[in-house]
Copies of this chain bind each other. A is one copy, B any other.
Amino acid sequence: MSPEWFYSKLNEDLSKIKELKPMIHHITNYVAMNDSANITIALGASPIMSFAHGEMEELASVASALLINIGTLDEYIIQAIMLALNTAKRKGVPVLLDPVGSGATKLRTSTAIAILNKGVDIVKGNHGEILSLLGKEGVVKGVDSRARIDAEVVKEVSQKTGSVVVATGKEDFASDGKKVYVMRNGTEMLGKITASGCMLGSVIASFMAVQRDYLVAAIEGLACYNVAGELAAKKSEGSGTFRQKLIDEISNISADKVMDRIKLEKVR
């Protein structure tokens, strides 16, 4: 994956998102719904937030990607997830799982693992959440994580789950079970707003709708989100304005801006 190749893919995929406006079906938590919808539109895709059982199959059939985020659960939502997931799998709709808080409570860990066992294309979490999928103990505090992870572990989770794995933290890792990339972009401001990881999920899911090499889609999403964060941080006076500037920057992102700043390394 040479910089030139990545630039050309990213350029192409950003254009495709804006042209096709792919529908991204989100089953996500109540905290992130609004932010995720806004960032998805800002990128050019078309979000729909729904967990109504009566329309899960219909929506999952026509969606260009399905994002499942377990940030706020109840029995109804868990059932909705399974309904949508079954349809998505049958129809070949790409699926991203964001296992928010996995490792923090038994309910979240077991729900995340039940979803993973059905097979998802990308699983994206912070270091602690990704570790929890191995049954190893992460230090998960609230929905944040202070756990450490490394390239080998990310590869192991990818092999075990059969999914592309994105593990976010001070360094972000992405692996398809063979290769492992590390990205050293972003800003500490991304840790100072809620739904930060959830919005990243929306960005990656939007790329999945137009890029079927999911490792590439994951890296495209990470790169756009982190670089937008860096640019937004320079224009912010605190976490309140940062949130809005982040959406601004995503609405104005380009492959050129990304390539100016990206720090991506293949480590395995």
Contact = CB atoms under 8 A, between A and B. Distances in A.
Interface of A: 21, 23-24, 29-35, 37-38, 41-42, 46-55, 58-59, 71-74, 76, 101, 104-108, 141-144, 192-195, 236-241, 243-252
Contact of A106 (B42, B58, B246): B58
Given A38-B194, A48-B101, A246 B252 contact: no
B240 A55 contact: no
Nearest to A196: B41
Contact of A58 (B105, B243, B250): B105
B192 A52 contact: no
A251 to B, nearest CB: 4
A30 B76 CA distance: 15
Number of this chain's copies in the complex: 3
Given A34-B31, A193-B41, A108 B240 contact: no
Contact of A240 (B73, B143, B243): B243
Contacts of A194: 34, 37-38, 41, 47
Nearest to A23: B142
A147 to B, nearest CB: 14
Given A48-B143, A50-B72, A51-B72, 4 more contacts: A32-B34, A50-B73, A55-B106, A55-B107
Given A34-B35, A49-B29, A52-B74, A21 B141 contact: yes
B38 A240 contact: yes
